[in-house]
Each structure stands twice: as structure tokens, then as C-alpha cells.
Amino acid sequence: MPHACELPAELTIYTIGEFYPECVNWVTAPTDEHDDGCLRVAAGSVAEVDAAGVQLLLSLLNSLQRQHRRLTLVDPSQALMSAVKTLGACSLMRDADLKGVAL
């Protein structure tokens, strides 16, 4: 099942409360036999991210892993990758597929 998922431009403590229900929908959406178990999330538009935003992504990754699924962040923005590195979350994000980005 193709997923049309995209992270918002602002992924901060001020916005994740509004965005969290969408993440829950992504994780709980039914899958079918054509689903490869990978949730693909466009991450290129993230311009502002803080520790709460990275924590939300780690929670999303963890929830998917419990379902034996994967997370792919497609074209993650420099702001997002910088926040992950600054917060020391690189090792935690290694289980996510970061299309074209090395941690």
C-alpha cells in the first residue's frame, strides 16, 4: 500500500500535538498483501525541528518496529538531519532508512 505521508515544515514542541494524531493514523492504517512493510515519509520540507520533533520520529520508528515494519524518511532536510546529529540520536535513527543520507 503506498503511503502519502509527509512531515510538516515545523516539527517542534509547538506543533507535534497537532501532528501526532496523523502519525498514529500512519501506524494504525491497515496493510495489505502488496505492502512491503515500509512506511515512506517525505521529510524534505522540515525547516524547523527541536528535541520534541526528533522524539516524535523515534516514537514513530519504535511503533513501526513493534509491528515488524520499517520507516523510510525520503529526502530528509538538512535541518532534520542536523537536529538528529546535534541531539545524539544518530544511533537510534540507524534503523530508519534515510534515503541518500549518511549518519
**pLDDT tens digits for the chain (103 residues)?**
344 699 999 999 999 999 999 999 999 988 766 678 888 899 999 999 999 999 999 999 999 999 999 888 889 999 999 999 999 888 888 767 665 554 4
Task: State the sign of the Cα–Cα–Cα–Cα dihedral 4, 8, 12, 16.
Answer: negative
Predicted pLDDT of residue 3: 46
Predicted pLDDT of residue 80: 94
